[in-house]
Amino acid sequence: MNKKIMTRITMATFVTVAISLNVSCTKTDNPVVVVEERNPEVLEINDSGCQEQTLSMTPQYPTIVLTKEGDVISCELRNYSENCGVNYFDIHSEYLKGKGYPDSLYIDVMPVIRADMDCVCPYSIYFTIRNVKTDNFYLQCWWYEGMVSFKEVNQLTLECISETVKIDGSSYRLLKPGTQALLIRMEDKKGEVQVPSTISYEGQDYNITMLEYNTFYGLDEMTKIVLPKSIRKINQSTFKLTNLFSFHCSSLENIEVEDGSPLLNSIDGVLFSKDKKVLYGYPVGNKRSSYTVPEGVEKIGIEAFAYSQHLTSIHIPESVTVIDKYAFEECKSLESIYIHGKLERKFENKEMFGAMNSTPTIYVPESEVEYIKTLYKGTVLPLE
């Protein structure tokens, strides 16, 4: 099966457990004692394991069952479809006190993939969130968004209903009863392209919070793209993100991200993670012949430089310890790669030169020469 299609890697927004507290003080002669509330924490994570293997790659949106007793919410996530190679699930939550608006509870489900496989499984996932004090809050996760209330019941079953529609030439999957939308395929556009942050369908506004792996497939005449700050997720597997613009956006010279994005960032037209520690995508049509990865970047993502047409040299700083698979695939003008640091002996690094010709010379610290020679068939030389 085509590697491009099967690289199902999601980018779920990683959130740390945090809480914003409203502290009001009244003037008094006595000292004010502030009692700090405990942050919500996710505990007791379990899953059913693969329930039934299928070759279908169509996203299935799960049902979530919430049961609240006191300040503890027990969660059961049913029919969560993910790659068969899932090792376990990691869950993170964030609870924010509202100021003039409802409190908000965010939940991120992060499948840890042992190895991508050519199949999909439905899973049931169980976890508890402790220290949630209120009975009314706004729930936001990638499959559901909306107000929930435990005032009259202690258990809620929230089903996500989706509908695929076409608006102005682009295809979307609308998540109901939430107000989120997945941009499946962008209409064929030329020149500078702005991805919208919202769309309207039958009188209802939807926030575009997700992108599909093939969203921009075939936009060969697009020269610049601006991604909205509303994007919260790439519809692939967790912890990794394949370059969304490799090999099929041949004229793309510049990738930009709106200010305020919680997930993505852009430096000199190159796509990075929010914290600028992961380089996700280099625009394949950029005219630069040489590119230096900024200091502080720790990881080069999957297919990050794949199909770059004009690059002849790439300089990678000491801070980078991981270069993921197919990072330099089909870079036909590439003559040299300078890797200045020591790479971790991790699974991701084993295929960094995958689908790459052996013409370029790789320059690495002398201590790394023998290791890189086990991964690359071409010339490997020590840095001067």
Please check the confidence at residue 146 and state whether its pLDDT lies above 90. no
β-bridge pairing 120-130 and 72-83:
antiparallel
Query: What is the C-alpha separation between 136 and 149, in angstroms, rounded?
Result: 4
Measured at the CA of 304, the angle between CA 198 and CA 121, to 5 degrees, comes to 70
pTM for this model (two decimals): 0.70
- pLDDT recorded at residue 313: 97
Find the range with the poorest average confidence among 4-13, 96-105, 107-116, 358-367. Answer: 4-13
pLDDT of residue 320: 97
Helix or strand or coil: residue 226? strand
Question: Is the bond preceding 294 in cis, omega lying within 30 degrees of 0?
Answer: no
Interacting residues of 374 by C-beta distance below 8 A, sequence separation 6+: none
pLDDT above 80 for 176: no
Domains defined for the chain, CATH in brackets: 38-159 (no CATH), 161-382 (3.80.10.10)
- Can you list the pairs that 296-301 forms with residues at least 24 positions away whose Cβ atoms lie under 8 Å? 297/272, 298/322, 299/323, 299/324, 300/324, 300/327, 300/352, 301/240, 301/241, 301/242, 301/243, 301/327
**How far apart, in whole angstroms, are the C-alpha atoms of residue 16 and residue 96?**
12
pLDDT category at 39 given cuts 50, 70, 90 is low
Q: Look at residues 15, 34, 29 and name the one whose alpha carbon lies nearest to residue 91.
A: 15
* Each residue's pLDDT tens digit, 316-328: 999 999 999 899 9
Mean pLDDT of 61-68: 88
Q: What is residue 74's predicted lDDT score, i.e. its pLDDT?
A: 94
Average pLDDT value for residue range 1-14: 32
Could you report the per-residue pLDDT of 237-268, keeping only the tens digit for each? 434 578 889 878 999 999 999 998 888 999 99
